[in-house]
Amino acid sequence: MEEIIPKKISLSGIQPTGIMTLGNYIGAVRNWVKFQDECDCLYMIANLHAITVKQNPAELRKHTLEAFALIIACGIDPQKSVAFIQSQVPEHSELSWVLNCYAQFGEMSRMTQFKDKSRKHADNINVGLFTYPILMASDILLYKSDIVPVGVDQKQHVEIARDIANRFNGIYGDVFTLPEPYIPKDGAKIMSLVDPTKKMSKSDENPNGFIAILEDRDSIIRKIKRSVTDSEAIVAYRENKDGINNLMTIYSVVTGKSYADIEKEFDGKGYGEFKSAVGETVADYLEPVKERFNQLMCDKAYLESLCSQGAEKASRIARKTLSKVYRKVGLA
């Protein structure tokens, strides 16, 4: 009899910021879709994480549902995977408190993202911002995640989850699975269109720096045509060509062409022609996502039923882990 090898478990999450950028899609969500056939996947709208920054309650509710609709529109299949909203699964908060008691102040204070966000939000350096990595560890460890697809900037959070899990396991035995970060080799980091030395971000003060997934076609093409390049006018991927390298990365991911193929395709052609091709191709690439998103948002009852079903599935899995943790520490 052929041995059945269990699939690895993968957890991913995205915050309901109101805007998902092309960088989010290429660096994260696109890979989530691929993972569905390779792993047992869970996909989460991380709205608990979102409140480390001050939120308008009505907007947060709206953005949370929109983010859920958007990951479904991007290709997450609720029949293949578990898709849910974080706050609808209380086990995340419950395990987070336990893990707070097994994380060290020193290791939290060294987290790069805490330092960065403290500078950006100097008027609201709250404790939630400080313990954010512990909640993320709870997200990961609840589901016995083997791999966590993340951007380069989130790798440290997976490492601290491993450290906390190792510490807990060292005291109580084999309770948590040690997760591994998964960082895609290509397209892991899409850069700003106006400053290609910085990551594409929806919080960019210049809206020309990012492309939103739901942006209209003309705006997408216009932004890419205005993107920063260089004076060399040669489409080639190499050092000191950050703008062109970024556009080539985007074009490569969207078309499946290698850098060598792209260089050959635009040999002897100027940046204007290259930018036009990138803009048109990206707009075409995003059109089916926008259509599906609009369909889902027009049927709120169906969308909310998907949220409820996903939360129930996630809670059943999470409760098993939490119950074991409670028994180990003497809370049950």
Integer-rounded Cα radius of gyration of the chain: 21
Whether the CB-CB separation of 143 and 111 falls below 8 Å is answered with no
Residues forming beta bridges with residue 248, ordered by sequence position:
none
Q: Is 120 part of the annotated catalytic residue set?
A: no
Q: Which of 42, 139, 56, 146 is nearest to 90 (CA)?
A: 139
Q: Catalytic one among 8, 155, 189, 202?
A: 202
Task: Give 207's contacts (C-beta < 8 A, 6+ positions apart).
Answer: none
The token duo for 49 is: 């994480």
Q: Is 155 part of the annotated catalytic residue set?
A: no
The token duo for 243 is: 């703008």
Q: Is 7 part of the annotated catalytic residue set?
A: no
Residues 213, 220: Cα–Cα separation, whole Å: 9
Full DSSP string of 161-213: HHHHHHHHHHHHSS-SPPPEEE--SSSS-PBPSS-TTSB--TT-SSGGG--BT
Active-site amino acid positions: 117, 199, 202
